Amino acid sequence: MKVILGMSGGVDSSVSALLLKKQGYEVIGVTMELYRGSSCCNKDTYLDAKNVCNRLGIMHFTLDYKEEFQKYVIDDFICNYRNCKTPNPCIECNKYLKFGLMYEKAKELGCEYIATGHYAKAEYSEKYGRKVIKKSSSQSKDQSYVLWSVPKEVVEHLVFPLSDFENKEQIREIARENDLKVANKPDSEDICFIPDRDYKKFLEEKANFSTKEGNIVDKAGNILGKHQGLYRYTIGQRKGLGIAHPTPLFVLGFDVSKNEVIVGEHNELFQKELKVEEVNLLAVEEVKDGMEVQTKIRYAAKPVKSKLYKLQSDRIKVVFEEVVRGITPRSISCFL
């Protein structure tokens, strides 16, 4: 069985290559060149991945997808900030690059399966009668949240070699035992194309964002202060507002047409429901009103019991069992 493996040059994908080979797969390692100078696209990345493949005796290719990454990930990131939304570039990268273009490359190379070093499971479910994505055994490292956008037709071809490991130290120990030089390589947890984490500087330098002063107002429209550009603020933010007020104030939202930041008190951040578009159903064919799920509104959030309801135009409404803090226009995941 042939499998194409996305390799970043890190310990997770390197150990994945080792495990797949031991399981009898014919492994082809692929490193995607996405953005020059990023934390995952540099000379060390390519060399580390290629050296691991040489050590294991498997083929390795480096593929240039910089143009596609710009189109699907960076341009989307910039567009979201222009519209006061909070993007998650990993979601778009998974959809279009890691499980989109790489799947096409897998078919081109005659590979039946596609693998990555994500902490998640892909296995057949008797309940749903199909192969589905599940949470990994590691609750702290689980990455199933960022896999909701994987094209449905790709799921049956997925393999996640790290699905049953409980922690990262187990992975590093396997790497050390097998003399993989990346065993102690630090994790990369930043947005790969903004390694210094300064997304404001990135938007200003790469997309010509500039300070456009406007009003900070409460929900009644009363002017409380001035802001220095909508892109500098996020829902739930408290620090940096520069407002003297008897009670702490938080960013509740934005009025783009008026160039206003809307603020309010902490209790106003809590909501009981949200509406979702760009729905990707992986375990079921349709949403049935009242369907019970657990929903995460951000990667680090705890899943909350909730129910789904169909709306028009392929949209759904999520009603939470308890109020949720700081809902923002971003990707969410629902688990059955």
Range 82-103 burial, b when 16+ CB lie within 10 A, else e:
eebbebbbbbbbbbbbbbbbbb
pLDDT digits (tens, 9 = 90+) for 256-299: 999 999 999 999 999 999 999 999 999 999 999 999 999 999 88
Nearest to 163 by CA among 207, 103, 115: 115
pLDDT digits (tens, 9 = 90+) for 80-135: 999 999 899 999 999 999 999 999 999 999 999 999 999 999 999 999 999 999 99
What's the pTM? 0.91
Active site annotation includes 84:
no
How far apart CA 33 and CA 102 sit, in angstroms, is: 12
- Examine domains 2-177 and 211-264 and report if their fold is the same: no
Per-residue model confidence (pLDDT) at position 189: 67
> CATH topology for 270-335?
Elongation Factor Tu (Ef-tu); domain 3 (2.40.30)
Active site annotation includes 192:
yes
Per-residue model confidence (pLDDT) at position 1: 92
Q: Which residues contact 288 (CB under 8 A, 6 or more apart)?
A: 308, 310
Per-residue model confidence (pLDDT) at position 138: 87
Residues of the chain falling short of pLDDT 70: 39-41, 189
Pick the CATH number of 2-177 from 3.40.50.620, 3.90.1150.10, 3.40.1280.10, 2.60.120.620: 3.40.50.620
Please measure the distance between the N-terminal and C-terminal CA atoms of the chain and give it in whole angstroms.
31
Q: Which residues contact 5 (CB under 8 A, 6 or more apart)?
A: 13, 16, 17, 20, 27, 28, 29, 30, 114, 115, 116
Per-residue model confidence (pLDDT) at position 39: 66
| Kind plus residue range of the DSSP H or E element containing 233 | none
Residue 67: DSSP 8-state: H
Catalytic residue among 84, 93, 111, 334: 93
How far apart CA 302 and CA 297 sit, in angstroms, is: 9
Catalytic residue among 40, 53, 84, 192: 192
What is the residue whose two structure tokens read 């499971």? 121
Per-residue model confidence (pLDDT) at position 195: 85
Q: Is the dihedral of CA 143, 170, 162, 18 positive or negative?
A: positive
Domain ranges, ordered by start, for the chain? 2-177, 211-264, 270-335
Nearest to 234 by CA among 221, 249, 222, 251: 251
Question: CATH code for 211-264?
Answer: 2.30.30.280
